[in-house]
Structure 1
Amino acid sequence: MEPSADKGKDYYDRIESFRASKCLTLAIVFLALLIDSVLLAVVVPIIPAYLIRGKSPWNETIQTNDTDVSVAWMTNNLNLTHSTSGSTSTYHIVLLNRRLGWMFASKAFVQLAVNPFVGQVVNRLGCSLPMFAGFIVLIVSSLLYAFGETFVILFVARAVQGIGSSLISVSGMTILAQTYHEDDSRSKAMGIALGGVALGVLIGYPFGGLMYEFVGKTIPFLVIASVATIECVLHLWAFRPSPCKQDVLPSTPLLKLLRDPYVIIASGALLLPEMAIALLEPTLPLWLIENMHPHKWQLGIVFVPDSTGYWIACAVFGVVAQKLGRWRCIMASLVLSSVSLVCIPHVRHIQQLIVPHFGLGVAIGLVDTSVLPLLAFLVEKRHFADYGNVYAIAQMSISLAFSVGPSVGGQLVELIGFPWLVRGMALLTIIYTPLCYLLRNPPMHNERRPILLDDSVFSHTVSSYTSEGGTN
């Protein structure tokens, strides 16, 4: 009996060691970000096609520039009947641009509103309970998508997802910042975790397009809800979340972080490439419908190069961004984003979108893997090392991108057209790029030097900063 008891105890100890391991923590955060990203991406090919078939209470008659072509495309690809009178069509492409913009933006508006509160909750209650709540919210959102048939319910589903995304993303990044203390290992871990975002998007677009083509709208969202339930159970086993309040450590107020110029510059760099993809999600599919008349499955894979580029960038630059100089990587990502955007309106076939979309994905992956570890480094060296608020700010930037991008883009595309919309975004990004040079050597909390003061005056500080794993 005694050897058996020792064997059982050894087995229990190994299970407990695995449960507390960094690898399991990273895997759970990776899967959490993956599920959220799949749900985010899967609606892009499904919802526009679903609503354009008239499955909503707002079928309206509007004017189109190319009625015959649009009607022919929709009749052949969406199994529609049609009736036209002159140049008037019952297919509301222009109106759909506007309403899809607001719908896609609803998640980001909600996420923008709740991020500051989530940061405070994470600081006070820890990360495990908010992340568990995030899984529950994602399951609810998936079920609303699955069974919702009206525009209003689908709008609510998108908005509800914003709460779950905020809980998961802020908690997940905070868990990694607390688990990996060294700057190098943290940068690598965050790059791997952000690979979950890339993989989720990579899966979500084609998964949504193909599943909608062959089995309809409901099944893909039920699959996502099932996977989220499994991840929820894994999270319960690994972290055993409880409502017990943890000790409140010294923290930096959110408003103080918002007054830090380096945090703001880094967050702005995070915002711009994300806003570029946010502009494209509701407007590009409809521009393709009007100009290239693709099959439904093609709408599902048009964003695959973005997610492929993002995945590659996360895998590569999550490891080397700190060594290359994060400020250099951030500037390079903004330039690459601008060039990619300028190329998109000039394509004449869907295949020609591969290169600019791949470049845009690399740009977003490069800026994410550079900015997110940099924010943790800044808050450690310039403030107190609590991460909830600084990652709330990072998520606020992303939320702002995905709220302003679709909502404003959906309005501007009617006024200036799709080509000038993306060219304007490229111009805004390239104008912002020189500001990122200021991130080359941010001062520590005990330094009181101007932002643009010559670095040679502080050679001793710079050398000590670099030896600790700085961004230079």
Structure 2
Amino acid sequence: MILIKDFLSTMSVADYFSMSSLSGCVSRCRQSRRLVLLIVYVTLLLDNMLLTTVVPIIPNFLRQIENTRKAALLSSVSNINYTCVSRSLSAASNASQDGQGISNVLRHYVMHTSHPLCVNFTGNMSDLSNQTKPENDQEPFADQNIQVGLLLASKAIIQLLVNPFIGPITNRIGYNIPLIVGLVIILVSTVVFAFGESYIVLLVARAVQGIGSSCASVAGMSMLADQYVDDKERGNAMGIALGGLAMGVLIGPPFGGIMFEFAGGKEAPFLILAGLAILDILLQLFALQPKVKRESQEGAPLKTLLSDPYILLAAASLTLGTTSIAMLDPSLPIWMYETMHAVEWQQGMAFLPGSISYLIGTSIFGPLSYRIGRWLSAMIGLFLNGISVICIPFSKTMAHLIAPVFGLGLALGMVDCAMMPHMGYLVDLRHVSVYGSVYAIADIALCLGYAIGPSISGSIVKEIGFNWSMWIIGIINIIYAPFMYFLQNPAAKEEKMVLIMKDPSPVQYITYNQNRYSKPSSDKGTLKTTTTH
């Protein structure tokens, strides 16, 4: 709503009445940078709502599938229960006139063990009950951790594989087509999630979402970097766009948990998301008019950008930040169910403080990180990230989770809104101002976190426990934080500096000491860059 009001506020009363036709209004809308920002905001919102809506739904849905399977097995065993159990149990059977004694033993057996049913058992009822107890009560949760972790990680893994191709493609055909194609793919994934009834189908739907997310996120952030050429404006715009991501993360878990528990199943939340995606597709068709639009200059190859140490430092900070929250996605709901006996809506609401603080962080630190120095914002964010993650295992109730999860979301917002525009700034300063490949690298960095986190979370939790898995990732964040100091004054390539000083360019370059920055200066199209050491 704020973006719409800002767009309308740029039109004076005379503008409203001076438009001789509807086509004039449409043309004005299509030329608005704010409308582009609104489209990217909504796209990131929907993508991340789908990303996080499944977090409280999937563990409980898989548990329902498993319980249904066990109930069917129990029903089939009940039909032959009296022939399977030996005559030594006949006394217990007589004690229960309708055979419920044996039925209860069989029920306990089927629900807690996978071994074949004993045929020649001799003894009493308590002996059979004791033999059917699982050796490790935590094993069902550990196995489910792995299942949920692999499903959540599949999206990031596919996105990771697709991103190296999406970046160069956007450089060649423009940003409009990949953006709308990405949203269409996300729509397909949402519908499959709504009606999928098996683990394999949901796994495929999650993987398909990764392709759509890659197209949408790379094209969207590249489009903003292209539209907002001033470094300060770019930071503000990307902070707002990341607010859409934050809003999706904010709404997703409680939306999914509440709808799953109270709307009668998992179809309702995904069908609502599908409807919103259709509206966004129509908006894009109206505003962007997708067509091939080649860049006027060829961007730096992906390999060249990956060899830039400054870009790698920034990308690694994005990976570490997302790994922390990604490890919580599959393991926190199960840990809460196991230790706090939390129901579905509580598991979803546990992520709410982090989502709110991420929204706050992206809103505040978009412009603030430019003033205090983006390297410093990222450093503080990584420190806060590590401390918050370390504190989570000490929580004993839902109330105890509020502070560390809030801190984790705020830290992630500080890192993201500092490093995303900084990636574009590094390309402007050291390479060619074409952004598809660099934001493919940024998305790869985020995907690494979302791929590594869920995929290893289940195995690590199973081997060393939830507590140590959180403490280890927290310590890694704290150790890496000081490396952000090296991003304080990134060096410009000499040939790039010559071009900046002599050639007209649409981009205003701002080189600054990130403790104290200098404003952009230009003289009739010739841009000047000052470097402070």
Same fold (TM over 0.5): yes
What does residue 228 of structure 1 align with? 277
What does residue 40 of structure 1 align with? 51
Asked if 1:374 is matched to 2:422, the reply is yes
Asked if 1:308 is matched to 2:318, the reply is no
Which one of 14, 25, 28 corresponds to residue 25 of structure 2?
A: 14
1:9 Cα deviation after fit: 3.0
Q: Structure 1: how far apart are the matches of 2:294 and 2:133?
A: 68
Q: Structure 2: how far apart are the matches of 1:192 and 1:261?
A: 28
Q: Structure 2: how far apart are the matches of 1:57 and 1:406?
A: 26
Q: Structure 2: how far apart are the matches of 1:340 and 1:462?
A: 31
Asked if 1:147 is matched to 2:195, the reply is yes
Larger CA deviation: 304-313 vs 86-95? 86-95
Which one of 444, 448, 471 corresponds to residue 396 of structure 1?
A: 444
Structure 1 residues 8 and 440, CA, compared in 2 at 3 Å: closer, same or farther?
Answer: closer
Which one of 339, 342, 348 corresponds to residue 387 of structure 2?
A: 339
Asked if 1:351 is matched to 2:362, the reply is no
What does residue 194 of structure 1 align with? 242
What does residue 289 of structure 2 align with? 240
In structure 2, give the amino acid aligned to 1:377: Y
What does residue 282 of structure 1 align with? 330
Question: After the TM superposition, which residues 40-439 of structure 1 pair with which residues of structure 2 at under 5 Å, given as runs?
Answer: 40-54=51-65, 83-84=111-112, 85-87=132-134, 92-215=140-263, 216-242=265-291, 244=292, 246-247=294-295, 249-439=297-487
What does residue 92 of structure 2 align with? none
Query: Aligned to 2:229, what secondary structure does the other structure show?
Result: coil
Structure 2: gaps (5+ residues): 1-16, 72-108, 113-131, 497-510, 521-528
Structure 1 residues 227 and 326, CA, compared in 2 at 3 Å: closer, same or farther?
Answer: same
In structure 2, give the amino acid aligned to 1:110: I
Of structures 1 and 2, the one scoring higher in RCO (CA 8 A, sep 6+) is: 1
1:471 Cα deviation after fit: 11
TM-score, with length taken from structure 1: 0.88
What does residue 87 of structure 2 align with? none
1:238 Cα deviation after fit: 0.2
Q: Structure 2: how far apart are the matches of 1:250 and 1:327?
A: 29
Q: Structure 2: how far apart are the matches of 1:433 and 1:14?
A: 49
Q: Percent identity?
A: 42
1:86 Cα deviation after fit: 2.1
In structure 2, give the amino acid aligned to 1:384: V
Quote the RMSD (CA, aligned, Å).
Answer: 2.5
Question: After the TM superposition, which residues 431-470 of structure 1 pair with which residues of structure 2 at under 5 Å, given as runs?
Answer: 431-446=479-494, 466-468=518-520
Q: Structure 1: how far apart are the matches of 2:69 and 2:223?
A: 44
Query: Aligned to 1:339, what secondary structure does the other structure show?
Result: helix
What does residue 452 of structure 1 align with? none
In structure 2, give the amino acid aligned to 1:86: K
Structure 1 residues 187 and 462, CA, compared in 2 at 3 Å: closer, same or farther?
Answer: closer
Query: Aligned to 1:53, what secondary structure does the other structure show?
Result: helix
Tell me if structure 2 keeps the 8 A contact 1:124–1:248.
no
Structure 1 residues 322 and 7, CA, compared in 2 at 3 Å: closer, same or farther?
Answer: closer
- State the aligned residue count: 435
Q: Structure 1: how far apart are the matches of 2:346 and 2:427?
A: 43
1:245 Cα deviation after fit: 5.1
Structure 1: gaps (5+ residues): 1-5, 61-80, 449-460
1:87 Cα deviation after fit: 3.4
Q: Structure 1: how far apart are the matches of 2:365 and 2:228?
A: 17
Q: Structure 2: how far apart are the matches of 1:57 and 1:255?
A: 50
Structure 1 residues 58 and 251, CA, compared in 2 at 3 Å: closer, same or farther?
Answer: farther
Q: Structure 1: how far apart are the matches of 2:426 and 2:69?
A: 49
Q: Structure 1: how far apart are the matches of 2:175 and 2:164?
A: 15
Query: Aligned to 2:417, what secondary structure does the other structure show?
Result: helix
What does residue 67 of structure 1 align with? none
Query: Aligned to 1:293, what secondary structure does the other structure show?
Result: coil
Tell me if structure 2 keeps the 8 A contact 1:314–1:369.
yes
Q: Structure 1: how far apart are the matches of 2:311 and 2:40?
A: 24
User: For 1:249-271, what per-residue CA distance to the aligned partner results, in whole angstroms no more than 9, with x for missing partners?
Assistant: 22101011000000000001111
In structure 1, give the amino acid aligned to 2:51: L
Structure 1 residues 177 and 370, CA, compared in 2 at 3 Å: closer, same or farther?
Answer: same
In structure 2, give the amino acid aligned to 1:289: Y
Divergent runs of 4+, >4 A? 55-60, 88-91, 461-465, 469-472
